[in-house]
Chains A and B, each alone.
Chain A
Amino acid sequence: MSDAIGTPQARLDIAAKVKGTRKYPQDFNMEGQLWAAVVWAAHPHAIVRRIDTSAAEAVPGVVRIITSKDVPVNSYGIGIPDQPVLVGEGEKVRWVGDRIAIVVAQDLRTAHRARDLVRVDYEPLPVLTDVFTAMKDGAPLVHENRPNNILHHIPIRKGNVEEGFAQADVIVEGEVATPFVEHAYMQPEAGIGYIDEEGRVTVIAAAQWPHDDLHQIARMLNLPEDQVREIVPAVGGAFGGREDMYIQHLLALCAFVMRRPIKMVWDREESITHTGKRHPFYFAYKVGAKRDGTLTAVKIRLISDAGAYASTSIPVLNNAASFAAGPYKYPHAHVDAYTVFTNNAVTMAMRGFGATQPPVMYERMMDQLAEALQMDPVEFRLKNLLGDGDITITGNAMWGGVGIKETLRQAAIAAGWRQQGDRWIKPDLGQPSAPHKKRGIGIACAYKNVGYSFGFDDKSEAEVILRLRDDGSIASATVKTAAVDVGQGVTTALAQIAAEALGVPVSRVRVALIDTADTPNAGSSSASRHTYITGNAVYGACKAALEKRERILLEETGEMTVSAKYLYRGRSRRPTTAYDPVTGQCNPHISYSYGTEIALVEVDLETGETEVLKMWAAHDAGKVVNPAMYFGQVAGGVHMGVGYGLTEEFIMENGVPRTRRFSEYFIPTVLDMPRELVSLAVEVEDPTGPFGAKGLGETPTLPTAAAIANAIHDATGVWLKRIPATSEMVWRALHGKG
């Protein structure tokens, strides 16, 4: 053992980051480069009648204006290629993120000036701004090739829900809506497209899944995949927002058309207003329980706004439906989940991927039931939480070390709950800081898949190269994998896994930079999957390399370098299945991570303002690979959850964004964070994970907003109809004006 796992190793990239020498996409420049700027759609739903580029072309310094005629195959999209790369005359724009043209000029200022001179005549169409209107019979269609605007429906039927409600002593019901959320990664979209020395169309840009980008770009340009290349340098945050392509294919198209380097840099407003968002959801729930606190049945209707194009709205809905009931045992369940096209922003992956929205609703139901039964909320939850082997609403037995109960126990005890036998007693919350303020405490539990789900073949490939000394010992090791470090620290985590597997210090492990021409496909930096899936691939490659080394040493071949590749498939040990189309029964997920968060808040009854004083966060991500990075993921997840719960909302009016900058879209500053965050690592290992690890990237965001909403209720007695719980929203609810 090398003690590489479970120790706070310094991040491999951090010295360069604190020196400012680490290069992000906007930091690259090439000899002879031109600059490009996008002409965005000016309407959320309209037919483009005429595109007149003559005035723009006349601007000195403008080199070319690229339009739909220049695109070999004018469609793209992750999974479903339903998005036009550029919208041409006679075609439709479906949201304001659609693109009409790309202006290529000698410099960025000229490109910006010229793009304002591209004249586009539109024939406006009715704009669909809400899912309820869009679902009605006869609603205008966002996509004419479809019978209606419902992109997907998932039914889940387990047992007999009416029978379940008949057995219940208490039934509660509720509705909640959640907002559009902007990823707000600090590094706006940027990059360079060029033709490399081997003639390949090459892109340097931030991405989460370089090989899927490659696939989509090759399809768009009608080129074989080996004629396309993507290099991913430092990525300034992603959170799901770079799983779809926003700039990569445009850079590739520019390079393909112009045959010279083209640089593009978007400003913050372009980044906020023209990229995808977290899905808003509408939830309506009915839940029943017996007097002793046993849950009997849940009936759920949920609808998500898919925006203008499919993106990953169906996989997000798959997840949302499977996690809709929360980490609880229900003998009877009935779920109808829909995702619906509108002319709002495209919605897509964002930290939690459909598991982030439901806790706001299901954890409120748990508190309402506990209140109705006059039970402590910890005690009520512990009676119903899933354990190993327990059956979910999709009929699968939980596997892989189910730590949810332990996260609740540890968080509750840390927050001051006292246990007396099976009874749990809530702590005294102390005095509020002013007479017009009230304190409250709220709990939320949540869980999330690790790895791609529903039968998808989740796989990752890694290569390990060992350089040997004369005595056969390992001088250094290089890990090659296209697992993108978007800031979460996967590069360091994989180096630690390699070091542990090889029995060398982390300092002897190097992780290669990501270049699709050199590093194998690892899948995307999403689904909290790289530590588990790519970690297994790296572990497998290390073991294979060590076996090769044994042979070399035994046969005394004199070779000084050993390399081995390993492809890890999630299904090899954890096969999953898709939803049954009628009953929704399935075995959805490879592995899971679990978390409980508790929020202590103070609500100002005069202004409606909520301050989160302290949070306790207990998360089970299996074996912790790096405690310092573990804390960073938890704290960053809580940060995003505090924003989700209290301040963050991307607002559109009639399809036009109204939140366009950081002074209008409020991500929490350091002063908005709870003064104290207590993080507890609950390490219930998954035996199929590398050294028992699961995944952590997303779970810390899931319970935060729900815990805060429950705490606001505890303080004030009101339930909000939606999040974020802004001052205005809370004030209105307190004054019956909600």
Chain B
Amino acid sequence: MQTLEMNVNGSDVRLEIHPDETLAEVLRDRLGLIGTKIACGEGECGACTVLIDGVAVTSCITPAMKAHGRRVTTIEGLSRDTELHVIQQAFVDSTASQCGYCTPGFIMATKALLDANPNPTREDIMHGISGNLCRCTGYYQIVDAVALAAKRLAEEGRK
């Protein structure tokens, strides 16, 4: 067992874990943060995307100890109480979710993308989310959602 100390969505946590536990397992099974989804378990689809110090990682293949002493943001850390984050609201307004299993991963990938590039072109957006698979939507409404979120965030910034 090893001691893992990290900050998850603003709260410090301290856990005794097996060294081979993945970050996704710790988030889901030990902290109950079920919004992080495991779809491939091999880092190939992006459903488990979370941020470590603001950088998007596939948590299903990230050893949990990699988050030691760092800041982890999951889908649960985006919205405040009942209020949706701008990105989440854009996904709602663009009907960018069908079965929804890939949705938290897309939203976290979007967060990382827009933090790094607040003014993306459509092509930038496509490259930014190309590591995430969706089997339902055909992606168009997801790209629309990211573009809408970028526009709204820029407007907020101007206020």
Among candidates A11, A235, A670, residue contacting B97 with C-beta atoms closer than 8 Å: A11
Q: Is the beta-carbon distance between B37 and A14 smaller than 8 angstroms?
A: no
What number of A-B contacts does a CB cutoff of 8 Å give? 166
Does B134 count as interface, using CB distance less than 8 angstroms?
Answer: yes
Contact B138–A629 (Cβ < 8 Å): no
Q: Does B35 contact A (CB under 8 A)?
A: yes
Contacting B at CB under 8 A, from A141-186, are 183-186
Contacts of B39 in A (CB 8 A): 186-188, 236, 268
A226-257 contact mask (Cβ, 8 Å, vs B): 1 or 0:
00000000111111000000000000000000
A47 at the interface (CB under 8 A from B): no
**Interchain CA distance A669-B102 in the complex, whole Å:** 13
CB distance from B22 to the nearest CB of A (A): 12
The reply on A3 being an interface residue by CB < 8 A is no
Q: Does B137 contact A (CB under 8 A)?
A: yes
The residues of B that contact A663 with a CB separation of less than 8 Å are 42, 44
Is A10 interfacial (CB 8 A cutoff)? Answer: yes
8 A Cβ contacts from B137-158 to A: 137-143
- Count of chain A residues with Cβ under 8 Å from any Cβ of B? 54
| Cα–Cα, bound, A403→B141 (Å) | 26
Closest to B35 in A: A20
Could you tell me if B107 and A677 are in contact, using CB atoms closer than 8 angstroms? no
A79 within 8 A of B: no
Please give, as numbers and ranges, the residues of chain A lying within 8 Å of B99 by CB-CB distance: 185-187, 234-238, 486-487
Q: How far is the CA of A450 from the CA of B97 in the complex (A)?
A: 24
Count of chain B residues with a beta carbon within 8 Å of a chain A beta carbon = 52
**Chain A residues with CB under 8 A of B95:** 8, 10-11, 14, 628-629, 631-632
Cα distance A14–B142 when bound, in Å? 13
Q: Is the CB of A661 within 8 A of B75?
A: no
**Given the complex, which residues of B lie within 8 Å of A187, measured CB to CB?**
37, 39, 99, 101
- B98 is contacted by which of A23, A632, A677 (Cβ under 8 Å)? A632
Chain B stretch 77-106: residues in CB contact (< 8 A) with chain A: 78-79, 84, 88-89, 91-93, 95, 97-104
Minimum CB–CB distance for B90 against chain A, Å: 9
Q: A488-B98, A670-B126 are in contact. Are A632 and B133 (CB under 8 A)?
A: no
Flag whether B135 is at the interface (Cβ < 8 A).
yes
**B51 contacts the other chain (CB 8 A):** no
A487 touching B127, Cβ below 8 Å: no
Q: List residues 497-511 of chain A with CB under 8 A from any CB of chain B.
A: none
Closest beta carbon of chain B to A142's beta carbon, Å: 31
Q: How near does chain A come to B6, taking the closest CB pair, in angstroms? A: 19
Question: Do the beta carbons of A10 and B101 come within 8 Å of each other?
Answer: no
Q: For the complex, give the distance between the alpha carbons of A162 and B153 in Å.
A: 68
B138 near A638: Cβ-Cβ < 8 Å:
yes
Which applies to chain A's interface (DSSP): helix, strand, loop or mixed? loop
CB pair B36 A20 closer than 8 Å: yes
Residues of B within 8 A of A19 (CB): 35, 75-76, 78-79, 84, 88
B109 vs chain A, min Cβ distance (A): 11
Task: Contact check, A184 vs B126: say whether CB atoms are below 8 A apart.
Answer: no
A188-B39 Cα distance, complex, nearest whole Å: 6
A661 to B42, CA, bound (A): 8
Given known A24-B101, A628-B95, A662-B42, contact A635–B133 (CB-CB < 8 A): no
Q: How far is the CA of A22 from the CA of B97 in the complex (A)?
A: 12
Interface string of A645-677 (1 = CB under 8 A from B): 000000000000000011100010111010001
A488 to B98, CA, bound (A): 6
Q: Is B59 an interface residue (CB 8 A)?
A: no
Evaluate contact between A20 and B140: CB separation under 8 angstroms. no
A interface with B by C-beta (< 8 Å): 8, 10-11, 13-15, 17-24, 26-27, 183-188, 234-239, 267-268, 486-489, 628-629, 631-632, 634-640, 661-663, 667, 669-671, 673, 677
Q: Which A-B residue pairs are the 3 nearest by beta carbons?
A: A20-B35, A487-B99, A635-B138
> What are 16 A-B pairs with beta-carbon distances under 8 A?
A19-B78, A19-B88, A20-B34, A183-B135, A185-B99, A186-B134, A187-B99, A235-B99, A236-B99, A268-B41, A635-B138, A635-B141, A661-B40, A661-B42, A661-B44, A669-B130
A20-B36, A188-B39, A487-B136 are known; give 16 further A-B pairs, CB within 8 A.
A10-B92, A14-B97, A17-B97, A19-B79, A21-B35, A24-B37, A27-B34, A184-B135, A185-B99, A186-B39, A186-B99, A186-B101, A234-B101, A236-B39, A268-B41, A638-B138
